[in-house]
Amino acid sequence: MKFWFTRGAWVSKKTQEKYKNIAPEEIKSIAIIRHAALGDMILTRAFIGEARKFFPNASITLSVVSNYNYGVPSDMVDHVHVAIGSDQRHISKRDQIRKAKELGYHDIIFDMTVSTRSLLLCLVNKAGIKVSFPYRNWQRIFYDICIFRSDMQFEAETLLDMLRLFGANISMPPNSHINVPATKRDKPYFVYFTTASIANKCWPVENFAELLKKLSSQYSGYNHIVLEGLAEWESVSNLIGLTTSRGEIKNIKVQKAMQLDETYAFLKGAVAVIGNDTGIRNLAICCETPTVGIFSSEVLYRYWPRYGNHDVVYNADGSIPSVEDVLASVNKLIKI
């Protein structure tokens, strides 16, 4: 295998020499360490599909963590390894290490997490090549190959760079292999998701209420559906109360959280999905549904694909975007 790079990556001299005469077809097993919540997990699907194509004879094991199980792409891999997470702190260190060792030997390990837990997995399991995208330069001592991570590129693309380094011809835009038929409804519909994993990612509920009123009036022939999250605090009752304070608005609906395949179908059938930096927005991106993301404090370029019908609303100084700016973004997107 030739390693295709001049800058932007690092490969140890030993690895370059050892693998120069090995073909991708000779790779028999791959492990992918992805200890992440829903949004980042979903972005892994395109990588798995491309790895399957480039290493056609390799079995693929995905290592996940016990406290993040929703959205694991088990349909795309041969085996799933579950590492002990923060939900099982009572388990002894000895048993945690024993569980970590169950990952076993692989021709290539791709560490897409770079955490204390994933570094442990790399230390206690042998591999022909260990590949990662570490946050800090010194962390490359744990790996044979490193792709330098950038906050200025969509994260799904950074993951795919690990395969481009080997010479893989990556499909663009990335294919997430979500083969679920879109939901069919009597009326076209917008989807709004108003929460996020942490509070400072959330656009103010008053802003969402004002946006919802304006769009439900402007697009009166559409339904405007607010999707609730799984947690109790992700209830949208406050938002609906603010939106309908002067009477019911018939084309505003609430959708309770659904199973994953139902969520895929629901998002796939939408005209557009409007929300914060969330896993739901990443699901919509992977379903090729137009999205409008609202950003203020987050690293926005890492979660903003520059292909497809996806827009992000932000201010250069990091302040909270206005309702008017989000409304303009939605209107621009719908006209595409």
pLDDT in tens, 69-80: 889 999 999 999
Residue 230 lies in a domain: yes
pLDDT digits (tens, 9 = 90+) for 244-293: 766 678 899 999 999 999 999 999 999 999 999 999 999 999 999 999 99
Let me know if residue 160 belongs to a domain: yes
Q: Which string of b and e fits 246-274 if b means at least 16 CB within 10 Å?
A: eeebebbeebeeeeeeebbbbbbbbbbbb
Does one domain contain both 144 and 39?
A: yes
Note the pLDDT of residue 123: 96
Range of the domain at 56: 9-164
pLDDT for position 126 = 97
What's the pLDDT at 132? 96
Count up the domains in the chain and report the number: 2
Crossing angle, helix 45-54 and helix 155-164, to 10 degrees? 10
Residues 212 and 145 grouped into a single domain = no
**What's the Cα-to-Cα distance from 302 to each of 7, 71, 112, 120, 149, rounded to whole Å?**
20, 20, 14, 26, 10
Kindly state whether residues 207 and 313 are assigned to the same domain: yes
Residue 67 belongs to a domain: yes
Indicate the pLDDT class of residue 89, thresholds 50, 70 and 90: confident
Task: Give the pLDDT confidence score for residue 246 in this predicted structure.
Answer: 61
Same domain for 18 and 104, yes or no, is yes
Is 56 a domain residue? yes
Mean pLDDT of the chain: 93
On whether both 121 and 37 belong to a single domain, the answer is yes
Q: Last residue of a domain, which of 164, 199, 234? A: 164
- Is 96 within a domain? yes
Q: Which two tokens stand for residue 16?
A: 């370059």
CATH number for the domain spanning 142: value is 3.40.50.2000
- pLDDT of 232 reads 74
Domain shared by 15 and 139, yes or no: yes
- Average of per-residue pLDDT across 159-165: 96
* CB-based contacts of 55, cutoff 8 Å, min separation 6: 24, 25, 27, 30, 108
pLDDT digits (tens, 9 = 90+) for 120-139: 999 999 999 999 999 888 89
243, 302: one domain = yes
Work out the percent of the chain whose per-residue pLDDT is above 70.
99
Judgement on whether residues 236 and 101 belong to the same structural domain of the protein: no
Domain co-membership, 113 together with 257:
no
Q: Assess whether 144 and 211 both reside in one domain.
A: no
For residue 336, what pLDDT band results from cuts at 50, 70 and 90? low
Residue 225 lies in a domain: yes
Q: Are residues 127 and 266 in the same domain?
A: no
Do residue 320 and residue 231 come from a single domain?
yes
The pLDDT of residue 67 is above 80: yes
